[in-house]
Structure 1
Amino acid sequence: MKAFRRQSLAKAIQLSLLISLPGLAAAQETTPPPTQPSATTLDTVTVTGTRIKQTNAVTAQPVFVLDRTKIEQTGLQTVGELLQQLTSSGKALNAKFNSSGNFGYPPDGGGIGAGSAQVDLRNLGSQRTLVLVDGVRWVNESSASGVSGSADLNTIPMAIVERVEVLEDGASAIYGSDAIAGVINIITRRTFDGAEANAYYGQYDDGGETTDISLTLGGSGERWSGVFTASYFEQEDISSASWDQSAVPEPGAGPGAGSSGVPQGRFVFCDPRQPVGSPGFCGDATNDASFYSVTLNDGTATPVWDPNNPNGGTYHRFAAADRFNFAPFNLLLTPQKRKSIFTNLYYDITDNTRLHVKGLYNNRTSTNQAAPEPIFVGPDAGTGGIADTISVAANNPYNPFGIALTAGDNFSFIGRRPLEVGPRIFTQDVDTSYFNIGLDGVFDIGSRNFGWDANYAHGENKAEQTFLNGYNVAKIKTALGDPAVCAQVQGCVPLDLFGGQTRPMTQDQINWIRTRQIDSSEQVLDLYQANVTGDMFNIGDRTAGFAAGVEHRRYRGEFNPDPLRQTGESQDSQAFPVKASYDVDEVYSEFNFPILSSLELSAAIRYSDYSTFGSATTGKVGFRWQPIEDLVLRGTWSEGFRAPNLGELYGLTQFGATLTDPCGPTGAPVVDTSNGVSAGLEAACVGAGVPNGFEQANTQIITFTGGNPDLDAEESENYTVGAVYAPSWAEGQSWSNKLDFEVSYYNYKVDGAIQAADIQSLLDKCYEEQGGTGPACAPFARNFTGNLFPPQNRLANLGTIETDGADFKVNWLSPEWGFGHLTGSLQSTWVNDYEAVDQDGNVAQRAVGIEVNDSAIPEWQTNVQLGWGKGNWDANWNIRYISSVEEDCTNATIAEVPGCLNPQQMNTLGSVTYNDFQVNWKEAFTEGLKLTLGVNNAFGKEPPICVTCSLNGYDAGTYDLPGAFWYVSANYRF
């Protein structure tokens, strides 16, 4: 393959790639860097972002490289954790998320992704970031809860990773759909001679022991090379009860706001025996106070009800202090085990043709845990299903009120959380298999050099989830009805929702309503591709290059929810099966023209034909200009698209959205206008039938969501401009061996974004701007008590998403001094703006500097690495900074926390700085042994308390777990 001479800038930038985020410099190796740069001969290589082989270390598009040395210096043992620490990364699923059935299914039909880890570039969503392995698409995850459009990084063991290349630029013209925000290309270990054993152990202050063991074997001969890796990873759980915020939370902060599903029971009804005007009488729909809303006193053995005095007997009016703190039952860190084997083989068939075969099998078992499932029945249960229709017979032997509680008449709600049943347990068992076989080679035509490759890849992700300690709501209905009917059904016993914890359910009652539910899903990807790249013609003394190729992909997805979910008999949530597939055929071409000795122009075009929505054509252009030896200016403009995935097309589920009703006490109390509530909002709520004194029964309002087979593809435009400066005056100096700077500005716009409407924004707009009758009110209706019916909120090509910002990088490498050598690097991302607007002009709550829906977009994220190395020792210090964000206090269930006493105020989540340290000893005790000691978040910085965040009261996608994480590892190569 033809070699080219490189100038010193390319050498400098290639070296800078070795000392960038998130680890420390390759210069921290025992061999000191050269003191004087020199021109170096380099072979052409393929860099992520272009299929044309390059000799430039700095291409037109920004590419960030994490090699194996830098990866090891982070102390992280999963690919997901590694990528989520990038400053360009936004919120994505990881082991700190503990949600399986707590909120139902998200609107994209992709499922909850319990136990998986994903990556999100530029805050545009993991479904808009393409994941490749060795340049080939990776199969998307299933996780037993849907058909997702995102890859699970937990299916790729860290032990097989040679390096990770991050393209921080849109690349649909190069790689096709999903590459709107960028590309993650994980390069596996290709050659290795000998054996390597690695053992790792780490633990947080509060537990969460982590063990990782791997063995790599490799060899090579004259015409072949092969690698085999086996690995085992185990991570234990951390209970939320171990964190003070969850065990004894601040009032109103996140989990401290509590749930209306309480162990003592909450009962909302009226009594037809009461005369008009008496407390609890029926018939005045304009006065919510006419309904009793009571709970059983703690310690009550036998309930005593006094209809004339709801605070007499053994009951009292339900208040905020009675809400249940579910957080101690949750997990801060979810446990999982992963077992993996991987192998590859390369064989030179001829001097110009090579065969490669790769295979992987990965099994993950993981667990989520939630508080015992509450039983919500009555119209205000808000499920849109069987539970809303349940009544309680007057002759139920446990009914203390002496009357029938008739749904839709004199009864609206019972919420009872039976702790005696035990916590909800969701266990996932996920198998991933991957097979790739292909040929690649080189050939010449005259003086022109060409390379080619052809691949077939098959990937499968199969998952099964078992849910324990859920309920069959149809059986609950029978057990609360006429005891004579119940007696005719085998196994049925009348159900006691009225005795609180002093008179818990009997085992027979539990056995009748408790169920075990099993959901499963599968995704399969088959891919065929062929590419050719090489020289076209000379422009002066330089050669124009090209790449072209074809690709065929077939996607198949299947989701099989438990039959109880399909019929609506599951108390947890309802979901419907999906079984679908689609094909795509693509052809692309790419060109690089060296117009001048210092200027290169590039262009690419791709045509894609989908069996689901039709065809799309995308293009990309770029430039690379090196006006002086030390400076490169570069830029790109590209079109992008993302085809709707199977879940978005065909999924149909429920989602328990956490909503604040503008007409309720947590929003704007409907009493009068003296409390600052506008007359317009007052009139809108009264006009909708909301009674005086109204209190929202449950902040988790079930929303019917799902796919839309008529979806079109998303379209996008993005551009980047930037500069890389490697000053020669900082080379070979007494204070510096190498110094370089990089700045890149990015701008993305996504049109026709596939999303459901922001249901909270619609609800607010309906009542605060449109008087309760405008277009935004279409999804909403209310029942006879004033509570919202479950709204419909299906996916559509609704939105436009725009975001822009800048990346800054600095790398410095010292000469070898008597005490060793030093390195320093900085990576920082500034987000200038993020705005999502639907077709009606409704602006989503998510924005820069705002915490909403368990997600934040900090204005600044910065990582700094400092390092020292001498001989067989090196030490690393990594500093990670996240700027402050704010959350809207009115979204809290109880807005009575410091900083939120005025509901119009914003609660500030302060900036956070984490400090990570690591020390390495190479050739420790014997040749080939490396010992490592490290601590991440060394000073135990806790995440800021989040009032509006669900479950554990902090944003698990943005911040580290509370407490430090200590680890040791031993790597022995022989």
Structure 2
Amino acid sequence: MSGSQTGDSWQRMGGRAAAVCTACGAQLAAAQLERTGSELAAQRLEPVQVTGSRLPRAAVQSAQDVHTYERERIERSGQTSVADFLATVPEASLNSLESTFIGTSVRLRGAREGSTLILINGRRTHAVTGGVAPFGFFDLNTIPLSMVERIDVLPSGSSAIYGGEALAGVVNIVLRSEFHGAEATLGYKGAKNTDEKNVSLGAGWKRDAVRLSIMGLYSERSAMHGRDREITASPDYRRFGGPNLGSPFFGTPANVVSVSGNLPGLNASFAAVPVGSSGIGLRPADFAATAGMQNTGSFTSYQSLVPASRRTGVFLAGDYRLANGIVLFAEMLASRYEEDVTNAPPFLQLNTVPATNAFNPFGTDVRVSGVVQGAEPLSRSSFHEAFVRPVVGARGELGNWNWEFSALASRDRGSFDVYGRPDAARLGSALASSDPRTALNPFVDGPMAGSDVLASIYSTFTPAPFKGDARLVNGFVRGPALRLPAGMLDAVVGVEVEKSTLARGFDAERTAKSLFAELRAPLLARSDERGGRRELLTLTGAARGDRYSDFGSKTTWQAGMELRPVEPLVLRGTVGTAFKPPTLYNLAAPLVRFSQSAVDPVRNGETVIVQQIQGGNPALQPTTGRSATLGLVWSPQNAGALNLSLTAWTLRIDNAINLPGGQFIVDNESLYPGRVVRGPSTGGQPGPIVTVDGTYINFGAMRQEGIDASVDWNVKTTAGVFTPAIAATYMTKFNGASTPGGADVDRLSRAKADGIFAPRLKATASLGWKPDDALDVYLAARHVGRYTDYTPPRTLGNVWYLDASIEVAVGRMLGGAAGMLSAMSLRVGATNLADKLPPYSTHFRGYDVYNYDLVGRTIYVRLRLQT
């Protein structure tokens, strides 16, 4: 878009906004007659948090299919993090693991990380936190689950309402701010080889025009390593029907390989160090029994697949009502999250051991591969992130309209530090040393050197500090813009300005200015049985223009329809566009050059060492999306609290941003013009590869279709209240290209190495039972449908996870005992009750990390005291 076109588009949008405001002002008197003062006060004096709309009536009447999970459902789930809870709901098709991404995210319907906008209390926050900047998403670890009142999930693009990042959906996390008195909670959650402890405190105070609340928490979790589960303890998967994938690079003890020919005194060029070897005074004959053999192993068994972690957090919220009706409000979320991770152990990879080595039994140079025993604890990393997000603002009335202005400053600080990488010079000296006190001994089944020697070799420390800031100002007015024959035309008009910065080995910043508007117009209505008016047909619309300082402007729109042919039935549909801007890391990450081997298919498969370049690309363009929904909601009045929802949806994502691998680019050179640089041609062949440009690039399109269905019922009987519920996401299409201009790849129920796929079916079924106020029993089943493994035709899935819990109101159970017991409740439960563990998968971990629970059965206890 040219500069003049951009300016014209902003002028046109500004003109439309002015026209709307003019019409609004002309209709204030008519609108006042339409609504009573009490109705207006109910809408104006309290904040409105509606995911999918900024209009108050959308809370109960919406064209959008919004899935709301209240605190009761969250607590019943037994999960202790936002990401873990979201992984249990059907529309979140894949897990997001800390062991894979450092942080955690939510993936709606298989869309890649970063496709979902995260809101806190209805307001935008950091698009990308610094710790996970390379992956491009907001780390949900910064929001403690104990502080959450409810979570709204809108699994459709919604940039016209909320702006960029709302590409495949929106998750609004509403924090707890309504306390009556004080509350304290103690919790414990344990599984085999790992456990978690947490404590939270909350209190609220309300008097006249002032309302305050505060909540704080602390939790810590112990690590679970690959060796703690059978599927990840060994790379020999023959016991699960798979192959032996052990690598000699992780052999324990190590392996010896000749520089050329056979090893001296042996009839083989390689041999395994014998199990139990002392490593001292060895001769070639001591390797006769293991000649031609190798010890193998895997890095997974050493790694912490559930990292040890600590989390602290505090949330404060309050408001003050002035005499003129204006409400001043403020809130602050502050959290700190820390992880300690055990990495792959230090290992030798065909390192040369000279004949001078004090323990070399072969009298000549040899090469050695295997784990450096004794140095395993030195290879680790630590991650910490501190997140602070204060918000201040005011809301009030302007005639028949109401307004709100808010400002927030989101601050993100932390570091990802890696310890225990080898110092190449010291490693070489230790391998060549003739002094047993300083030499590395790779021929022993045990520690290869003293702890001081190993610590001096594996001493390299690599910090990766980061800091990010986002400052956002938002203001809007909303109210009745026009009196239509069927009711009032409601409107919202607002502006938003956001400035964000990121420093992670580089400094980058951007400013985004936005203008947005939203309308809700009832076109047909009729009188209902109670003498009121019931809408029959309503149209909704939204538009937003975003102008970014680094890549230009983007305009998105959304339209919706609500049809109520009979009172219990709502037919609804939406269509809209969305986008995700390139992240600051995508655009500005520094270029890194490194040497890597590559196989060149156009030069008869020769293997060459090439220089590969990775990093940011300032020429990137936004990823765009288009979504549509069509569905119904049926809530018959004569069936009690029964709700049935059915929604068909489509999602299209274009121009995705990817970081392709070097070999992948070489294999598809024609699809990446200019990214493979060659030397002069030789002998009629293309010249040898010199460099491969692997910086970020726009390419790829995804097409997804499916159906969301749910039914929930609140049934009152003489035996108590029963609440059965079923929800499912059934996908009928998911395909997309893996290369620019390449053919579409079927990703529906087919696991893919890039992690972009989804099972056809994900569902939950639950039953709650409250015989009285003293007892709450809950049972739930989570289902993942069958899908093809990463290597067909092996299949995975078709698995059920069972959860159960029971909560007892101790005081009521004891007949209203006085004292502390009267306000005490105890919940005991289990997740994955049947202890379903993953089967073998051809994923490099040995199991599919996206759909299976490696932890297994977890038992939890939660004690709560309220006053």
Q: Which amino acid aligns with 1:152?
A: D
**Structure 2 vs 1, CA of residues 60 and 213 (structure 1 numbering), >3 Å: closer, same or farther?**
same
| 2:840 counterpart (930, 936, 945) | 945
Question: 1:182 Cα shift?
Answer: 0.7
**Structure 2 vs 1, CA of residues 78 and 312 (structure 1 numbering), >3 Å: closer, same or farther?**
closer
Q: Does residue 1:232 correspond to 2:213, yes or no?
A: no
Q: Which amino acid aligns with 1:914?
A: Y
Question: 1:296 Cα shift?
Answer: 3.3
Matches of 1:584 and 1:524 in 2, distance apart? Answer: 14
Deviations 1:354-390 (A, max 9, x none): 1111112212222211342223367xxxxxxxxxxxx
Pairing of 1:92-171 with structure 2 (within 5 A):
92-94=95-97, 97-99=98-100, 112=101, 114=102, 116-139=103-126, 142=129, 144=131, 146=133, 149-171=136-158
Partner of 1:349: 322
The 8 Å contact of residues 257 and 263 in structure 2, kept in 1 or not, is answered as: no
Question: 1:314 Cα shift?
Answer: 7.3
Partner of 1:727: 636
| Paired residues, number | 793
Partner of 1:636: 574
Pairing of 1:183-198 with structure 2 (within 5 A):
183-198=170-185
Matches of 1:861 and 1:2 in 2, distance apart? Answer: 48
Deviations 1:677-720 (A, max 9, x none): xxxxxx969922479xxxxx9xxx99864321211111111111
Pairing of 1:709-788 with structure 2 (within 5 A):
709-728=618-637, 731=638, 736-757=639-660, 778=676
Deviations 1:197-230 (A, max 9, x none): 11212211x1322222111110111111010111
Question: 1:494 Cα shift?
Answer: 6.9
Partner of 1:510: 454
Q: Does residue 1:836 correspond to 2:740, yes or no?
A: no
Partner of 2:22: none
Partner of 1:316: 291
Deviations 1:787-837 (A, max 9, x none): x999653210011122121101111222x3221122211110012222231
Matches of 1:522 and 1:479 in 2, distance apart? Answer: 39
Partner of 2:605: 688
Partner of 2:482: 537
The 8 Å contact of residues 305 and 313 in structure 1, kept in 2 or not, is answered as: no
The 8 Å contact of residues 127 and 150 in structure 1, kept in 2 or not, is answered as: yes
Partner of 1:364: 337
Matches of 1:187 and 1:868 in 2, distance apart? Answer: 26
The 8 Å contact of residues 758 and 844 in structure 1, kept in 2 or not, is answered as: no
Question: 1:332 Cα shift?
Answer: 3.9
User: Whose strand proportion is higher, 1 or 2?
Assistant: 2
**Structure 2 vs 1, CA of residues 602 and 220 (structure 1 numbering), >3 Å: closer, same or farther?**
same
The 8 Å contact of residues 305 and 314 in structure 1, kept in 2 or not, is answered as: no
Higher relative contact order (CA 8 A, sep 6+): 1
Deviations 1:622-669 (A, max 9, x none): 11111222221111111111111122112258899999x9x9xxxxxx
Partner of 1:785: none
**Structure 2 vs 1, CA of residues 470 and 653 (structure 1 numbering), >3 Å: closer, same or farther?**
farther
**Structure 2 vs 1, CA of residues 345 and 47 (structure 1 numbering), >3 Å: closer, same or farther?**
same
Matches of 1:645 and 1:777 in 2, distance apart? Answer: 22
Q: In percent, how many aligned pairs have the same letter?
A: 23
- Residue aligned with 1:590, SS: strand
Partner of 1:861: 762
Q: Does residue 1:605 correspond to 2:543, yes or no?
A: yes
Deviations 1:466-516 (A, max 9, x none): 4333212344356557x79xx9xxxx9975364243572344542332213
| 1:425 counterpart (380, 398, 421) | 380
Pairing of 1:213-612 with structure 2 (within 5 A):
213-248=199-234, 250-251=236-237, 257-261=245-249, 262-266=251-255, 270-271=259-260, 292=269, 294-300=271-277, 301=279, 313=288, 316-317=291-292, 319=294, 322-376=295-349, 395=356, 414-423=368-377, 424-444=379-399, 449-477=400-428, 496=440, 498-501=442-445, 504-507=448-451, 509-515=453-459, 516-559=461-504, 577-597=505-525, 598-612=536-550
Matches of 1:203 and 1:295 in 2, distance apart? Answer: 40
Q: Does residue 1:820 correspond to 2:720, yes or no?
A: yes
**Structure 2 vs 1, CA of residues 702 and 428 (structure 1 numbering), >3 Å: closer, same or farther?**
farther
The 8 Å contact of residues 718 and 748 in structure 1, kept in 2 or not, is answered as: yes
Matches of 1:940 and 1:658 in 2, distance apart? Answer: 43
Q: Which amino acid aligns with 1:551?
A: E
Matches of 2:213 and 2:353 in 1, distance apart? Answer: 66
Unaligned runs of 5+ in 2: 1-30, 36-40, 526-535, 680-688, 815-820
Deviations 1:44-95 (A, max 9, x none): 854211112215623111111112222222222222211121111133433x
Partner of 2:195: 209
- Residue aligned with 1:192, SS: coil
Question: 1:139 Cα shift?
Answer: 2.6
Q: Which amino acid aligns with 2:292?
A: R
How much is the aligned-residue C-alpha RMSD, in angstroms? 3.9
Partner of 1:671: none
The 8 Å contact of residues 522 and 539 in structure 2, kept in 1 or not, is answered as: yes
Matches of 2:860 and 2:654 in 1, distance apart? Answer: 45
Under a length normalisation based on structure 2, what TM-score does the superposition of the two structures give?
Answer: 0.83
The 8 Å contact of residues 310 and 337 in structure 2, kept in 1 or not, is answered as: yes
| 1:909 counterpart (786, 796, 799) | 796
Pairing of 1:670-689 with structure 2 (within 5 A):
687-689=604-606
The 8 Å contact of residues 196 and 216 in structure 1, kept in 2 or not, is answered as: yes
Q: Which amino acid aligns with 1:89?
A: A
Matches of 1:938 and 1:654 in 2, distance apart? Answer: 47
Partner of 1:902: none
Question: 1:174 Cα shift?
Answer: 0.9
Matches of 1:474 and 1:712 in 2, distance apart? Answer: 44
Deviations 1:130-159 (A, max 9, x none): 011111122356465646531122211223
Question: 1:173 Cα shift?
Answer: 1.0
Matches of 1:92 and 1:362 in 2, distance apart? Answer: 23
Question: 1:120 Cα shift?
Answer: 1.5
**Structure 2 vs 1, CA of residues 690 and 133 (structure 1 numbering), >3 Å: closer, same or farther?**
closer
| 1:173 counterpart (150, 160, 166) | 160
Q: Which amino acid aligns with 2:512?
A: V
Matches of 2:231 and 2:677 in 1, distance apart? Answer: 36
Under a length normalisation based on structure 1, what TM-score does the superposition of the two structures give?
Answer: 0.74
Question: 1:928 Cα shift?
Answer: 2.2
Q: Which amino acid aligns with 2:373?
A: L
- Residue aligned with 1:70, SS: helix
The 8 Å contact of residues 555 and 581 in structure 1, kept in 2 or not, is answered as: yes
Question: 1:341 Cα shift?
Answer: 1.4
| 1:82 counterpart (77, 81, 85) | 85
Matches of 2:71 and 2:331 in 1, distance apart? Answer: 20
Partner of 1:875: 777
Pairing of 1:28-43 with structure 2 (within 5 A):
none
| 1:70 counterpart (45, 70, 73) | 73
The 8 Å contact of residues 418 and 505 in structure 1, kept in 2 or not, is answered as: no
- Residue aligned with 2:540, SS: strand
- Residue aligned with 1:921, SS: strand
Matches of 2:175 and 2:593 in 1, distance apart? Answer: 38
The 8 Å contact of residues 576 and 627 in structure 2, kept in 1 or not, is answered as: yes
Matches of 1:441 and 1:716 in 2, distance apart? Answer: 36
The 8 Å contact of residues 672 and 740 in structure 2, kept in 1 or not, is answered as: no
